[in-house]
Structure 1
């Protein structure tokens, strides 16, 4: 190994940079070309959240946002090694720099301390799901004060809902954990463990369709909770050149969108792309 490369590795070790980040930065340092020409693989992470991102029958990451990100990475001459795991671990390990980036992320002040956010890749529409046998409707969250609400642990929800939870406005709030937290919440709803479940519209519609036998008695209330929220690819500030990577990604994402490829990807999954 060249002396300057060894000095770089020693410096990275002292700085407690993760091994995968150190290897990537070393490779970048040994290149004479620009960032966009580095044919490297970046480790990414997401949770099981179909149709945006999920593992297929072979265990490979797929989904609408996954394919959009891969299309942008291809234009950057990068590839992605994607791990699907519970969201709490995704966010925690991403903040430490164990992954170059995580997705699909809703922006919060806390997350902005740890991540550099891309331009939006998609958006989230949160609604309440209920049993078909329930004659439930709501205009204000206060209308649901007598009900138990199912949530997915660690997820970011619209501020109006978060404030209602903090104010203990509902009868109870029951979190689900793991890589398939939304599916667990829906199954709890089917069994009567909770009265309603807050969930992204496309996600829980997809889960109900693909688990029809187990979730036959569930539908949703159309009223949107808060506003539609953009979602992002979030680069860890503890990953080398996070700002530069985010900038390169935004340029590539714009080309994917303008070419019509992004719209085709979302249509493939039965989703709309703005």
Structure 2
């Protein structure tokens, strides 16, 4: 089974506890009495190895039409709030539906583009995608004026800002496009017994969500999102 190196607070090698999604998945696997070898490597490599049946499952992923062709998705592990992050003193009134306004968007390699955002951008001819290997790089480039906006979920964006900067620049969430999505464990459709595996996983996931240990995991995310904003809103 595999997960990625940097998607805090859900899965992240640099955290003392390696992410709330990892905690949740491990609880589910313990309840199923599964012995699992966990790999942590780049998101695109995880996807490739899972398609080649080198991994039984990968997490946490947003489901896209491309991924749905090859993978079955678990019930939601977490709900996430998608936002745009930009500099507070930028001064521009962003309208991503306008084909005339150039914009540089930063999305790390392996991060999916939200499906509801795609039609919003399809007629925009002046979008330049910047694709570094990490979200930290996106925020450093934002600080230096090399990118304009970063589409990312609120929890991951806030956590990354806090970890990247000793003194954060003035960053805000911009109300261009707000949407919610869900994170899932993905199982390759070509894997023998994939549907049965996912059925067992979902049944145990439902039990874990109601357990004291499961509730503590979700409280970690809720507590983080209910803190005083790290950035101006």
Q: Do the two structures share a fold, i.e. TM-score over 0.5? A: yes
Summarize the alignment of residues 46-195 of structure 1 with structure 2, pairs less than 5 Å apart: 46-56=4-14, 62-136=18-92, 138=94, 141-142=97-98, 145-177=101-133, 181-195=134-148
Q: Distance in 1 between matches of 2:55 and 2:33?
A: 18
The answer to whether the Cα contact below 8 Å between 1:70 and 1:80 also exists between their aligned partners in 2 is no
SS at match of 2:6: coil
| Structure with max Cα Rg | 1
- The count of aligned residue pairs is 225
Q: 2:169 aligns with which of 198, 217, 241?
A: 217
User: Which runs of no fewer than 5 residues in structure 2 stay unpaired?
Assistant: 226-233
Structure 2 SS opposite 1:195: coil
SS of equivalent to 1:81:
coil
3-state SS in 2 of match to 1:104: strand
Deviation of 1:265 after TM superposition, in Å, equals 1.0
- TM-score, normalised via structure 2 length: 0.84
Residue deviations 1:92-114 (CA, integer Å, cap 9, x gap):
11111111111111112221221
Kindly provide the CA deviation profile for residues 103-126 of structure 1, in whole angstroms up to 9, marking residues without a partner as x.
111112221221111111012322
More helix by share: 1
| Cα distance, 1:238–1:119 mapped onto 2, change above 3 Å | same
For residue 188 of structure 2, what is the aligned residue in structure 1? 236
Q: Which runs of 5+ in 1 are unaligned?
A: 1-42
Contact 1:138 1:144 in 2 (8 A): no
TM-score, scaled to structure 1: 0.73
Q: Which has the higher contact order (CA 8 A, sep 6+)?
A: 2
- Find the residue that maps to 1:67 and give its secondary structure: helix
Shift of the 57–264 alpha-carbon distance from structure 1 to 2, 3 Å rule, reads closer
